[in-house]
Amino acid sequence: MNEITNDNDKCAIALEALHHVIDPEIGLNIVDLGLIYQLDFDEKTKIIYCTMTLTTQFCPMGESISDGAKNCLENTFEGYQININLTFDPPWNADKISPEGQQFLN
Partner 1 sequence: MFAAATSGLAKNTSFKVVLPFYFYAALCFLFASILLIFSSAAFTQHYFHPYTLTVTHAMALGWGTMIILGASHQLVPVLIEGALFSDFLAYCSFIAAALGIPLLLYGFYHFDFSVFTKAGAILINLAIIFYLVNLAVSMARSKKENVHAIFVFTAALWLLITTLLGLLLLYNFTSNILSNDSLYYLPVHAHIGVIGWFLLMVMGVGSRLIPLFLISKYHNEKLLWWIFILINLALIIFIFNFLFSFYPVINFFCVGAIALAIGLFGYYCRKAYQQRLRRKVDGQLRISLLSIAFMVIPVVLSIVLIILSFYFVENNSVVLAYGFCIFFGWITAIILGMTFKTLPFILWNRTYHHRSAVQKTPNPKDLFNSRVFNMMAVAYLIGFVVFLIGIFGGFIYVLQVGAVCIFLSAILFNLNIFKMVIHKPDSK
**Positions that interact with partner 1 (CB under 8 A):** 20-21, 24-27, 46, 55-72, 74-75, 79-88, 93-95, 97, 102, 105-106
CA–CA gap between residue 23 and residue 104 (Å, rounded): 13
Q: Closest separation between CB of residue 47 and partner 1, Å?
A: 8
Q: Which CB atom, from 13 or from 84, has the smaller least distance to partner 1?
A: 84
Q: Which CB atom, from 7 or from 77, has the smaller least distance to partner 1?
A: 77
Q: Which CB atom, from 7 or from 17, has the smaller least distance to partner 1?
A: 17
Q: Closest separation between CB of residue 105 and partner 1, Å?
A: 5
CA 87-43-73 angle, to 5 degrees, is 50
Q: Closest separation between CB of residue 101 and partner 1, Å?
A: 9
